[in-house]
Amino acid sequence: MNEPRRLRRISTGIAALALAATLALAQAQAERPTMTAEEFAEATQVYFDRCAGCHGALRGGATGPNLYPDRLAEKGAPYLQAVMFGGLPGGMPGWGMQGVMSMEEIEVMARFLLNEPPAPAQISLEQILDTWVVHVAPEDRPSEPQHDLDWEDFFGVILRDMGQVAIVDGGTKELVSLVETGYAIHILRSSASGRYFTSIGRDGKASLIDLWMDPPQVVAEVKPCYDARSIESSKYHGFEDRYAIVGCYWPALAVVLDGLTLEPLKMIGTAGYERGAGGYVEEARVAAIVASHFYPEWIVNIKEAGQTWFVDYSRMDQPGQPLAVTMLDTDLYLHDGGWAQNRYFIVAANQLNKLIAIDAQERTVAAVIEAGTIPHPGRGANWVHPEYGPVWATGNLGSQEMTVTAVDPEGHPEHAWNVVARVQVPFTGNLFLKTHPNSPWVIYDHVMSPSPVGAATLCAIDKVTFEVGSCWEVPGARDVHARMVHIEFNRAGTEFWVSAWGRMDTPSFIAVYDAVTLEEVHRIEGDWVRTPTGKFNAHNTARDVY
């Protein structure tokens, strides 16, 4: 008699809970602002293009906080609109102030965020194959450069919103060709030989650019995902240029491609269990990828899973052979990073304000370093300091600090993995810094500074004294609504280039400076110079010089 009564009580309890949940959901839904189907579709696209990178396709948060409607409902639509208009000091861009979104669009986006997020689609190999095009087959490509230009000193300049990459001669600074790569290219990487640039767009489209063609052009393309940020080529001895890999933000995936045709060869799902808490992570995004110099493998960082995978490509062309993936627990929110001494890959766990140094030879975590607030190394900066030996530096997005760490446990064990300098810089908002063995300076941007002066200001930091030698607001940048972003040296290390990242409707420029005197020696201008962001020198990118 007792048992059924207890069961009845449990089932009554469950029914009551279910009813309460249904009522709560109905009430919550009743409070959700209404949207037309067109508004919802448009906002979904804007969200994917502008917001998903930091807040996640599923809105779970990563570089930015989660954007779940219940949390945002407490803040309210006017607050959301104000943030989207003016931005926040931690790195949230002021979309309204920058002229990227109108007040009407911001109002629609605020309503969108107060509604449940739509479920984004998955992708199949068949769908990827449908996007794969080889414009010039490898056998039809030249066996030597078709022009007599110094292609190893070419710069690939991303013209972000133009959907183009400009190939510019590093010596003459003349435009060599404009190649169509598709929407919002994010980065370029060089193949091991330097002959090819691979590009990846936010929309997941990868393009292969052959610098030996006259003019340089896209020879193959494929779209392995809907949203992506990283691409890398195979660089281990004997595998040069043979494979490439794309790291997707959505779906949670890395796709191995043939390096000469971009044919998709292997899809590697990254959704799984989070390091530490062990929760299931559906949106486990692929952040930085780098090619190991020690083994035929890529070092692939899985942001929300807090893991770094070593993906072996040596048997990719041997059907029936295993694809080895070695998983190393590192930490959450892995983002960007670069080589220190070509042995340690240092990646930012950006929301934890940490850097993780991964020993590529031992496949272990060599050290965890406390950075500033939201470290953002790009690929970092390497040099040899007279006292500390080899050091590596990162900038920080959220604090006015360049963090310098000693990185030579074998030659300088007494300093290894210590932060040897925290250099005070005048603004927050750094994204990139760079140096070259032939320059006495580390050059540092403040592109995400909420202050327009800060965003147009560059600093040069002395590599020996760690003093800020000089900071200057780039003349004319604000006149073309530009922020100064991303530094790249020429092959000789005698000059560095910085992009004035403006609007699509106004041409801007790329400023070229003397790497020693810091004088502006040239300004690359022209109607084609619109929304320049990252720039990659073929030689330096192929050989990891930074």
Q: Give yes or no: 55 in active site.
A: yes
Residue choice 59, 87, 112, 160 for contact with ligand DHE (CB under 6 A): 160
Q: List, as one string, the DSSP characters of 460-478.
A: EEETTT--EEEEEEPTTTG
Task: Considering only the stretches 82-90, 237-245, 281-289, 455-463, report the one whose residues sit in contact with ligand DHE under the rule CB under 6 A.
Answer: 281-289
Nearest to ligand DHE of 58, 187 (CB atom): 187
Distance CA(153)–CA(167), nearest Å, equals 10
63 lies in the binding site for ligand DHE (CB under 6 A): yes
Q: For 83, which DSSP code?
A: H
Task: Answer for the pair 139, 93: CB distance below 8 angstroms, yes or no.
Answer: no
Task: Considering only the stretches 18-26, 101-109, 119-127, 283-291, report the one whose residues sit in contact with ligand DHE under the rule CB under 6 A.
Answer: 283-291
Nearest to ligand DHE of 59, 335 (CB atom): 335
Distance CA(313)–CA(299), nearest Å, equals 11
Task: Considering only the stretches 7-15, 286-294, 364-372, 513-521, report the one whose residues sit in contact with ligand DHE under the rule CB under 6 A.
Answer: 286-294
Distance CA(364)–CA(357), nearest Å, equals 9
- Among residues 186, 225, 335, 484, the one annotated as catalytic is 335
Distance CA(3)–CA(221), nearest Å, equals 66
For the bound state, the minimum distance from the C-beta of residue 184 to ligand DHE, rounded and expressed in Å, comes to 6
Q: Give yes or no: 335 in active site.
A: yes
Q: Give yes or no: 459 in active site.
A: no
If DSSP codes are grouped into helix, strand and coil, which group holds residue 29? Answer: helix
**510-514, strands of its sheet edge to edge:** 483-489, 495-501, 510-514, 520-524
For the bound state, the minimum distance from the C-beta of residue 430 to ligand DHE, rounded and expressed in Å, comes to 11
Residue choice 164, 181, 190, 230 for contact with ligand DHE (CB under 6 A): 230
Beta-carbon neighbour count of residue 396 at 10 Å? 25
φ/ψ of residue 3, rounded to 5: -60, -55
Task: Answer for the pair 475, 519: CB distance below 8 angstroms, yes or no.
Answer: no
Alpha helices in 47-185 (DSSP H): 52-55, 69-75, 77-86, 103-113, 125-130
If DSSP codes are grouped into helix, strand and coil, which group holds residue 182? Answer: coil
Interface pattern 471-500 for ligand DHE (x via CB under 6 A): --------------xx--------------
Q: Shortest CA distance to 329 belongs to which of 355, 291, 363?
A: 363
533 lies in the binding site for ligand DHE (CB under 6 A): yes
- Among residues 109, 213, 376, 412, the one annotated as catalytic is 376
252 lies in the binding site for ligand DHE (CB under 6 A): no
Residue choice 80, 220, 287, 393 for contact with ligand DHE (CB under 6 A): 287
Interface pattern 412-441 for ligand DHE (x via CB under 6 A): -------------------x----------
Distance CA(2)–CA(17), nearest Å, equals 22
Task: Answer for the pair 121, 162: CB distance below 8 angstroms, yes or no.
Answer: no
Nearest to ligand DHE of 397, 425 (CB atom): 397
- Among residues 55, 186, 385, 415, the one annotated as catalytic is 55
Interface pattern 175-214 for ligand DHE (x via CB under 6 A): -----------xx---------------------------
Distance CA(72)–CA(83), nearest Å, equals 12
Q: Give yes or no: 293 in active site.
A: no
Task: Answer for the pair 425, 402: CB distance below 8 angstroms, yes or no.
Answer: yes
Q: Give yes or no: 92 in active site.
A: yes
- 335-354: contacts with ligand DHE (CB under 6 A): 335-336
Q: Could you list the residues that contact ligand DHE (CB under 6 A)?
A: 53-54, 63, 160, 186-187, 229-230, 287-289, 335-336, 378-379, 431, 485-486, 533-534
Catalytic residues: 51, 54-55, 92, 335, 376
